[in-house]
């Protein structure tokens, strides 16, 4: 290596080599061995880099060339290629096969190429707390809406190919993923993803039952965090002739999901939900309030679009006058069933799905406006109440 120039503007030419090196990252865990890199620089500021690295036996090829190190505008092209490069994390283990190119010139860079993921095991034990996001039409008072977004120096255009050996375990879902995506990041920091992932061969945990994933797809056509989902999960009731298939159809964008219950052969929504949650017809349970509460809670927890229809069917089937849900605070959510026994007596049963506590309330009408209300729960009470109608 020959050095020349001044401290403010040094120049050098020659060869710089790194031979038989090693490097390890801990988060995620990536091991690089047998690092061999050679950098040639001439006195005009042109350079050329070549090298190779091993990752658990898989070779990674590096290359770069360019000009303008000393004077003028820096321009460079770099490439990275490899097969089955492994990285590990407590929540996942992945192998990637990149074929990437990075071009830089006039103060701007562009990363492009293909990133194949032939094998991955993703197991997410805890999901991060969701953060509400304002919609795009929200206007923040006091903020200049006309200020242009900051422009960054890098844009990205990557084709991502998901191979046949990628599995996901998260939020009660175990499934395999395949498909292809195109991910782009512009210089204003806006991310756009287009493509489709197929979800297959897995299980879904819902309302204490294990459902088989019949079909599923995740379609991206815009922001990364709001894809369109279309998933069908089924349960077979084999002790019937013919067997009954019931399931959930989950559909919509991630910000606005809805679910419906379906069955083959077709039947009323409440009966299909009963087979899905209880494994039997409601009629076989005697029409008890416990079944009604469980089915009502399931309809609400699953976000069923037919919740109103199911409520009406439950009331008709059970003979109850009231089936509803109440939330008195952020940590309270109760399913309520009520029945008028006589003109003067009304009884309600409430089960809080978040605290697993229940309460029975009996209301006795003494006169037109006077009522005696007795409540039996963790804190039992009896009150004399006077009602004023407005």
Residue 202 has pLDDT above 70, yes or no: yes
**Domain coverage including residue 83:** 1-108
Number of domains within the chain? 1
- Please name the helix (run of DSSP H) or strand (run of DSSP E) that holds residue 334, with its range, or none: strand 332-340
Q: Is 236 part of any domain? A: no
Q: Is 260 part of any domain? A: no
The more confident residue out of 4 and 120 is: 120
Cα 226 vs. chain centroid, distance in angstroms?
9
Residue 49 has pLDDT above 90, yes or no: yes
Q: Is 189 part of any domain? A: no
pLDDT in the model for residue 260 = 83
Distance in angstroms (rounded) separating the CA atoms of residues 103 and 132:
37
Confirm if 361 and 350 have CB atoms less than 8 A apart: yes
The more confident residue out of 331 and 165 is: 165
Q: How would you class 245 by CB atoms within 10 Å of its CB: exposed for 0-12, middle for 13-18, buried for 19 or more?
A: middle
Give the percent of the chain with pLDDT over 90. 28
pLDDT, tens digit, 9 for 90 and up, residues 61-96 = 999 999 988 777 889 999 999 999 999 988 889 999
pLDDT in the model for residue 299 = 65
Q: Is 80 part of any domain? A: yes
Q: Is 182 part of any domain? A: no
Residue 109 has pLDDT above 90, yes or no: yes
C-alpha angle 148-149-155 in degrees, rounded to nearest 5? 130
pLDDT, tens digit, 9 for 90 and up, residues 16-36 = 898 999 999 888 889 999 999
pTM passes above 0.85: no
Distance in angstroms (rounded) separating the CA atoms of residues 314 and 360:
20
Q: Is 43 part of any domain? A: yes
Long-range contacts of 259-265 (CB under 8 A, 24+ apart): 259/302, 259/303, 259/304, 259/305, 260/304, 260/305, 260/306, 261/302, 261/304, 261/306
The more confident residue out of 314 and 28 is: 28
Q: Is 346 part of any domain? A: no
Distances (CA, A) of 375 to 89, 278, 292, 361: 52, 30, 21, 4
In the chain, which ranges are continuous DSSP H helix?
269-278, 289-301, 307-318
Long-range contacts of 271-280 (CB under 8 A, 24+ apart): 272/246, 273/246, 273/298, 273/299, 273/304, 273/310, 275/235, 275/237, 275/244, 275/246, 276/207, 276/209, 276/211, 276/235, 276/246, 276/247, 276/248, 277/207, 277/208, 277/209, 279/209, 279/235, 279/237, 280/237
Q: Is 115 part of any domain? A: no
């Amino acid at each position: 290596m020959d050095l020349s120039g001044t401290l403010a503007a040094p120049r050098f030419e020659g060869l710089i080599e790194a031979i038989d090196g090693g490097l390890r990252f801990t988060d995620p865990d990536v091991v690089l061995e047998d690092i061999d890199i050679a950098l040639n620089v001439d006195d005009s500021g042109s350079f050329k880099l070549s090298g190779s690295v091993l990752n658990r036996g898989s070779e990674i090829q590096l290359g770069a060339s360019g000009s303008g190190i000393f004077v003028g505008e820096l321009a460079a092209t770099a490439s990275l290629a490899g097969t089955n490069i492994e990285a590990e994390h407590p929540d996942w283990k992945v192998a990637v096969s990149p074929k990437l190119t990075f071009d830089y010139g006039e103060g701007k860079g562009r990363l492009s190429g293909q990133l194949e993921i032939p094998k991955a095991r993703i197991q997410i034990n805890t999901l991060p707390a969701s953060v509400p996001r304002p919609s795009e039409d929200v206007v923040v008072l006091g903020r200049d809406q006309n200020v242009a977004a900051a422009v960054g120096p890098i844009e990205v255009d990557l084709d991502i190919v998901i191979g046949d050996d990628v599995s996901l375990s998260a939020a009660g879902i175990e499934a395999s993923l395949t498909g292809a995506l195109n991910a782009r990041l512009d210089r204003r920091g806006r991310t756009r993803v287009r493509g489709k992932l197929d979800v297959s061969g897995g299980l879904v945990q819902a309302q204490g039952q294990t459902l088989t994933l019949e079909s599923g797809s995740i379609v991206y056509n815009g922001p990364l965090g709001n894809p369109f989902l279309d998933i069908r999960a089924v349960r077979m009731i084999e002790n019937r002739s013919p067997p009954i298939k019931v399931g959930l159809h989950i559909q919509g964008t991630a910000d606005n999901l809805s679910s419906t219950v379906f069955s083959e052969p077709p039947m009323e929504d409440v009966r299909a939900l009963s087979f899905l949650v209880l494994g039997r017809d409601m009629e076989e349970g005697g029409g008890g309030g416990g079944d009604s509460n469980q089915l009502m809670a399931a309809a609400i927890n699953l976000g069923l679009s037919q919740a109103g229809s199911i409520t009406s069917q439950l009331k008709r089937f059970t003979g109850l006058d009231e089936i509803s849900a109440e939330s008195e605070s952020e940590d309270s959510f109760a399913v309520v069933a009520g029945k008028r026994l006589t003109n003067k007596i009304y009884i309600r049963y409430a089960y809080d799905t978040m605290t697993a506590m229940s309460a029975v309330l009996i209301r006795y009408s003494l006169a037109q406006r006077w009522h005696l209300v007795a409540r039996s729960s963790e804190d039992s009470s009896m009150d004399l109440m006077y009602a004023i109608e407005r």
